[in-house]
């Protein structure tokens, strides 16, 4: 295909790659340099305390993974078997919520149920029992991680169950297979194919979980590497320890990701909630009762903390909160930083997408070159180098030149933008690639090139996916606590940071109110993204012009 | 409007070689000005590639392509005297009928009154009057292909390539579209080359026929001769196996 030989597209891609590489590479370089500068000190920091934290990091992630997946299997099975269950669609929608909620908000919801003054404690004391549940520590971390990951695992496994051809169910009911035989012969093989991917994903999410462990972990006994990095930088200012912790965390993520790449990724359903495949067997009343109770338990486990957030948020003094200048400042700061981060994230991922498609189209039947493959890799770089590591690296590096805390707004924008790139890249790429494959020949024939093509052809197709990606990236950035916790100070106060401060000073009502505001902002953005995405899918399936 | 009085142009492929993955394709062909030629052959035999080479979407590894005795081998698609309609994706889904046709006139859509006049006439001619403001998703499959033909009309290029443009239409609609093509051909004298899965299309338009196999033209001549019982054995096998496969 003939194209303008001097296209700006590869240049844009190279710029985006440079940004991501500098962000991640700069922090890694700083860590390595620091480790060798104070070599004796740095390596001495690898003491038993460090290993204990590493062990706990892995242990909590393993347990969270086993619990989430272990309960997700019967739950996904039950949801798949009970296609006509009243409120099934509502439950699936509800299960999309935890991932959209900022972790801090979810933590407050969980304490409102399981905490010292929570629902369960209230029921216990009403029953006259005086053993008050203590959520802080491993228990709390596990409850929160299962709260986030059970719905994720369930949705992923359900979509793999949905991929079983209808004919299998016809056959199995014709052959009169029992419940157990069906599970063993039909469902388990499909689950098995996806389970390693799902489990790996959850394990990775829990290894890098920061907010949950920071707020629900109980002191040095129950802390993870990421939280320990934060504490050594923010409170102890112990650079040597921070460096060794960060390097350890980095080795851990790299090791796990290489294992994960062997395990393969779970097939994802994206935003949409697929509707039914029909089941033909008349299920026994015993299995129906079992399924119903599994669904009910799963529903309560997710729904209770969410309603807890809403109820305690509503009972907070919202009017007073909204009259506080600090609260307004935090909201405005959060919105401004999040929009800037989202804009940057879109610019970066769109450049990657466009440059990738350009070089893929140009090479035609040849193999992908290094540039194209690095564009793909760049999009997921942030998975290997988690935000806290980037933050820690730049914190340590920048303290030689400036006051690290003065970098807060820039770090929040840069790191949050990079954090959102894997997602925005995945939202933009299919739209762009489809549009390009439909339009490239036509545009070449009609001589529509350059600015004309951007204005008449590409932009109208891109507006909706860009809007979706923007809303998604902004929600992600709004709810993020990691970077701002590291760099945050009173001059740059975001909503999650203010929330954390109020929690820290035991102003629980304020915290609940702020959590509700934060959750509302994120959910509005997520609903916009979700609606847009559904319409996009419908539009794509409707017309092939 | 500019009256589409055109004379078709002749097309020659001289020892054109093209490597499609593993398969090396090799084309030698000569197509008369203002003729209608149908290309048939099994899938993967290179029918679409042949059209893509003429339109300029693919570049030959060696050999030359001449249109009207001018070498166009190095010209980009937009500068060749060629319009092409595909099976799908002929239209931009977010633009209405008028804009989709208008792009054939001005790639920046800045249409002057003369352009608008010619776009309107073309839309009428393909029988879509009254549907100018519709988006492609509000059109039927047949109507979408009519828009593509209208655009080819306003482009006023002497060669029209149809790449299975009517393959996704039902039999009645397909015949209707072939009728439209025949009318346009009578009126404009365009050189028309069409890839089709239906040999009777070629008979209907009483066209010439190219039969492709494994990236080579293995038989050519008037359709009514090649498709008769006395046609070459190769072709009889293809047609026979096709019927038994139905």
Q: Measured between alpha carbons, how far is A401 from A353 in angstroms, rounded to an integer? A: 35
- CATH code, domain with A276: 1.10.3720.10
B224 touches chain A (CB under 8 A): no
- Indicate whether A220 and A331 sit together in one domain: no
Do the beta carbons of residue B183 and residue B125 sit within 8 Å?
no
A132 in any annotated domain: no
Q: Which of B77, B90, B155 to mutate to test the interface with A (most CBs of A within 10 A)?
A: B77
The bridge status of strand B36-40 relative to strand B191-195 is parallel
pLDDT at residue A4, as a whole number: 46
Nearest residue in A to B146, CA atom: A545
Helix (H, G, I), strand (E, B) or coil at A524: helix
Min distance B157 CA to chain A CA atoms (Å): 11
pLDDT at residue A543, as a whole number: 46
- Indicate whether A38 and A66 sit together in one domain: no
**Is residue A276 over pLDDT 70?**
no
- Indicate whether A468 and A327 sit together in one domain: yes
Q: In the listed set A313, A342, A360, which residue is the last one of a domain according to the structure?
A: A313
pLDDT tens digits in sequence order for chain B, 246 residues long? 444 456 789 999 999 999 887 788 999 999 999 999 999 999 889 999 999 999 988 889 999 999 999 999 998 888 899 999 988 888 888 889 999 999 988 888 889 999 999 999 999 988 899 999 999 989 988 899 999 999 998 988 999 999 988 888 888 888 888 998 998 899 888 999 999 888 888 888 878 999 999 999 999 989 888 888 777 888 888 887 444 333
What are A537's two structure tokens? 């899918």
The model's pLDDT over A160-174, given as tens digits with 9 standing for 90+, comes to 888 887 778 777 777
The model's pLDDT over A402-440, given as tens digits with 9 standing for 90+, comes to 888 888 899 999 999 999 998 899 889 888 988 888 888
Q: Give, as one character, the DSSP assignment of residue A95.
A: T
- Indicate whether A410 and A450 sit together in one domain: yes
Interchain proximity B93–A445, CB inside 8 Å: no
Q: Which residues of chain A have a CB within 8 Å of the CB of B94?
A: 460-461
Nearest Cα neighbor of A334 from A212, A205, A500 is: A500
Do the beta carbons of residue A387 and residue A417 sit within 8 Å?
no
Question: In Å, how far from its chain's centre is CA A34?
Answer: 30
* CB-based contacts of A66, cutoff 8 Å, min separation 6: none
- For chain A, give the mean pLDDT: 84
Q: What is the DSSP string of A469-488?
A: HHHHHHHHHHH--HHHHHH-
- Indicate whether A250 and A330 sit together in one domain: no
Q: Which residues pair with B193 in a beta bridge?
A: B37, B161
Interchain proximity A438–B136, CB inside 8 Å: no
Do the beta carbons of residue A545 and residue B93 sit within 8 Å?
yes
**Is residue A183 over pLDDT 60?**
yes
Residues in chain A: 545
pLDDT at residue A50, as a whole number: 85
Q: Scan for tokens 């029988």, then name that residue.
A: B127
- Beta-carbon count within 10 A of A435 CB: 21
Q: Which numeric CATH code is attached to B1-81+159-246?
A: 3.40.50.300
Task: Indicate the number of domains in chain A.
Answer: 2
Q: Measured between alpha carbons, how far is B22 from A230 in angstroms, rounded to an integer? A: 56
Do the beta carbons of residue A321 and residue A313 sit within 8 Å?
no
B83 touches chain A (CB under 8 A): yes
Min distance A293 CA to chain B CA atoms (Å): 45
pLDDT at residue B151, as a whole number: 92
Instruction: Give A537's pLDDT tier (boundaries 50, 70, 90).
Output: low
Min distance B88 CA to chain A CA atoms (Å): 7
A200 in any annotated domain: yes
Per DSSP (E only), the strands in A106-220 are: none
A116 in any annotated domain: no
The model's pLDDT over A89-127, given as tens digits with 9 standing for 90+, comes to 889 888 988 888 899 999 999 988 988 888 888 888 888
Q: Which residues pair with B38 in a beta bridge?
A: B194, B209
**Pick from A2, A448, A542: CB nearest B103:** A448
- Indicate whether A64 and A173 sit together in one domain: yes
* CB-based contacts of A124, cutoff 8 Å, min separation 6: A130, A131, A132, A133
The bridge status of strand B36-40 relative to strand B23-31 is unpaired
Q: How far apart are the first and last CA of chain A?
A: 21
pLDDT at residue B58, as a whole number: 87
**Pick from A2, A365, A452: CB nearest B107:** A452
Helix (H, G, I), strand (E, B) or coil at B33: coil
Whole-angstrom CA distances from A534 to A97, A273, A346, B94 are: 16, 9, 20, 17
Alpha helices (H) in A323-406, listed in sequence order? 325-363, 370-379, 381-384, 387-398
Instruction: Give A396's pLDDT tier (boundaries 50, 70, 90).
Output: confident
pLDDT at residue A503, as a whole number: 86
The bridge status of strand B159-163 relative to strand B82-85 is parallel
**Pick from B79, B88, B94: CB nearest A460:** B94
pLDDT at residue B6, as a whole number: 61
B2 touches chain A (CB under 8 A): no
What are A381's two structure tokens? 């770089």
**Pick from A446, A449, A461: CB nearest B103:** A446
The two counts, helices (H) then strands (E), for chain A are 26, 0
A526 in any annotated domain: yes
Q: In the listed set A282, A313, A344, which residue is the last one of a domain according to the structure?
A: A313
**Is residue A493 over pLDDT 70?**
yes
Q: Measured between alpha carbons, how far is A404 from A487 in angstroms, rounded to an integer? A: 7
Q: Measured between alpha carbons, how far is B123 from A363 in angstroms, rounded to an integer? A: 38
**Is residue A272 over pLDDT 80?**
no
Min distance B164 CA to chain A CA atoms (Å): 15
Interchain proximity B78–A457, CB inside 8 Å: no
Whole-angstrom CA distances from B161 to A440, B52, B56, B83 are: 17, 9, 12, 6
What are A120's two structure tokens? 């369960």
The model's pLDDT over A473-488, given as tens digits with 9 standing for 90+, comes to 999 899 899 888 888 8
A163 in any annotated domain: yes
Segment A351-368 shows an average pLDDT of 84
Do the beta carbons of residue B3 and residue B184 sit within 8 Å?
no
Whether the CA torsion A64, A70, A75, A81 is positive or negative: it is positive
- Indicate whether A92 and A237 sit together in one domain: yes
Nearest Cα neighbor of A336 from A406, A388, A418, A413 is: A413
**Is residue A264 over pLDDT 80?**
no
- Indicate whether A358 and A217 sit together in one domain: no
Give the residue numbers spanning the domain of A192.
45-100+146-313
A419 in any annotated domain: yes
Q: In the listed set A280, A313, A346, which residue is the last one of a domain according to the structure?
A: A313
Q: Give, as one character, the DSSP assignment of residue A492.
A: B
pLDDT at residue A334, as a whole number: 94
Q: What percent of chain A has pLDDT over 70?
A: 91
Helix (H) or strand (E) holding B169: none
**Is residue A43 over pLDDT 60?**
no
**Is residue A496 over pLDDT 80?**
yes
B137 touches chain A (CB under 8 A): yes
Nearest Cα neighbor of A148 from A24, A42, A305, A20 is: A305
- Indicate whether A284 and A397 sit together in one domain: no
- Indicate whether A249 and A323 sit together in one domain: no
- Indicate whether A16 and A84 sit together in one domain: no
Q: Measured between alpha carbons, how far is A374 from A351 in angstroms, rounded to an integer? A: 13
Q: Measured between alpha carbons, how far is A275 from A253 in angstroms, rounded to an integer? A: 36
What are A170's two structure tokens? 């016809």
What are A255's two structure tokens? 């090791």
Helix (H) or strand (E) holding B220: strand B216-222
B168 touches chain A (CB under 8 A): no
Min distance B146 CA to chain A CA atoms (Å): 12
- Indicate whether A241 and A294 sit together in one domain: yes
Interchain proximity B109–A456, CB inside 8 Å: yes
* CB-based contacts of B113, cutoff 8 Å, min separation 6: none
């Amino acid at each position: 295909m003939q194209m303008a030989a001097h296209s700006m597209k590869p240049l844009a891609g190279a710029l985006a790659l440079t940004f991501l590489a500098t962000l991640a590479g700069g922090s890694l370089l700083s860590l390595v340099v620091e480790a060798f500068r104070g070599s004796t000190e740095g390596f001495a920091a690898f003491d038993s305390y460090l290993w204990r934290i590493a062990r706990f990091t892995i242990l909590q992630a393993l347990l969270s993974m086993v619990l989430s997946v272990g309960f997700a299997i019967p739950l996904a099975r039950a949801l798949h078997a009970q296609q006509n269950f009243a409120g099934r669609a509502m439950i699936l929608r509800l299960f999309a919520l935890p991932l959209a909620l900022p972790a801090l908000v979810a933590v407050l919801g969980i304490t409102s149920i399981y905490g010292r003054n929570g629902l369960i404690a209230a029921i216990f004391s009403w029953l006259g029992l005086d053993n008050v549940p203590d959520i802080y520590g491993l228990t709390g971390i596990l409850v929160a991680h299962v709260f986030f990951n059970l719905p994720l695992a369930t949705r992923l496994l359900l979509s793999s169950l949905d991929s079983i051809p209808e004919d299998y169910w016809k056959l199995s009911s014709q052959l009169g297979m029992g419940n157990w035989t069906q599970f063993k012969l039909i469902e388990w093989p499909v689950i098995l194919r996806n389970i390693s991917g799902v489990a790996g994903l959850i394990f990775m999410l829990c290894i890098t979980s920061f907010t949950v462990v920071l707020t629900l972990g109980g002191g040095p006994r129950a802390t993870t590497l990421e939280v320990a990095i934060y504490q050594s930088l923010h409170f102890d200012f112990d650079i040597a320890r921070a460096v060794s912790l960060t390097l350890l965390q980095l080795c851990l993520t790299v090791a796990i990701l290489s294992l994960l790449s062997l395990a393969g990724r779970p097939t994802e359903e994206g935003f949409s909630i697929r509707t039914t495949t029909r089941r033909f067997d008349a299920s026994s009343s015993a299995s129906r009762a079992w399924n119903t109770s599994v669904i009910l338990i799963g529903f309560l486990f997710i729904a209770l903390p969410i309603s807890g957030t809403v109820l305690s948020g509503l009972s907070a003094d919202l009017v007073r909160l909204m009259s506080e200048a600090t609260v307004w400042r935090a909201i405005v700061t959060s919105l401004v930083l999040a929009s800037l981060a989202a804009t940057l994230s879109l610019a970066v991922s769109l450049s990657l997408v466009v440059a990738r498609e350009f070089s893929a189209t140009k090479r035609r039947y040849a193999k992908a070159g290094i540039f194209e493959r690095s564009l793909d890799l760049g999009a997921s770089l942030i998975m290997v180098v988690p935000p806290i590591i980037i933050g820690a690296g730049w914190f340590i590096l920048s303290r030689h030149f400036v006051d690290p805390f003065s970098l807060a707004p820039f770090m929040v924008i840069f790191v949050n933008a990079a954090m959102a790139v894997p997602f925005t890249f995945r939202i933009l790429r299919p739209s762009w690639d489809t549009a390009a494959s439909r339009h490239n020949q036509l545009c070449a024939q009609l001589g529509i090139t350059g600015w004309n093509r951007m204005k008449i052809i590409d932009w109208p197709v891109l507006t909706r996916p860009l809007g979706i990606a923007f809303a998604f990236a902004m929600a992600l950035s709004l709810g993020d606590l990691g970077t701002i916790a590291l760099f945050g100070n009173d001059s740059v106060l975001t909503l999650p940071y203010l929330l954390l401060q109020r929690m820290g000073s035991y102003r629980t009502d304020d915290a609940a109110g702020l959590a509700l505001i934060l959750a509302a902002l994120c959910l509005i953005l997520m609903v916009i993204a979700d609606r847009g995405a559904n319409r996009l899918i419908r539009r794509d399936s409707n017309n092939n012009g | 409007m500019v009256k589409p009085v055109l004379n078709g142009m002749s097309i020659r492929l001289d020892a054109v070689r093209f490597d499609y993955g593993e398969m090396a394709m090799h084309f030698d062909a000569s197509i008369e000005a203002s003729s209608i030629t149908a290309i048939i052959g099994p899938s993967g035999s290179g029918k679409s590639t042949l059209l893509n080479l003429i339109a300029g979407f693919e570049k030959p590894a060696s050999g030359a392509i001449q249109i009207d005795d001018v070498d166009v081998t190095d010209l980009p698609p937009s500068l060749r005297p060629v319009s092409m309609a595909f099976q799908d994706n002929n239209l931009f889904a977010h633009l209405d009928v008028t804009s989709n046709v208008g792009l054939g006139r001005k790639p920046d859509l800045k249409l002057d009154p003369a352009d608008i006049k010619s776009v309107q006439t073309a839309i009428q001619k393909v029988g879509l009057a009254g549907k100018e403001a519709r988006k492609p998703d509000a059109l039927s499959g047949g109507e979408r292909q009519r828009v593509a033909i209208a655009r080819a009309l306003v482009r006023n290029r002497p060669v029209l390539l149809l790449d299975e443009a009517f393959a996704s239409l039902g039999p009645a609609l397909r015949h209707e579209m072939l009728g439209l093509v025949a009318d346009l051909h009578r009126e404009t004298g365009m050189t028309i080359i069409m890839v089709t899965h239906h040999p009777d299309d070629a008979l209907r338009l009483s066209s010439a026929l190219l039969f492709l196999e494994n990236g080579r033209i293995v038989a050519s001549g008037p359709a009514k001769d090649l498709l008769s019982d006395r046609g070459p054995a190769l072709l009889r096998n293809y047609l026979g196996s096709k019927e038994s496969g139905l």
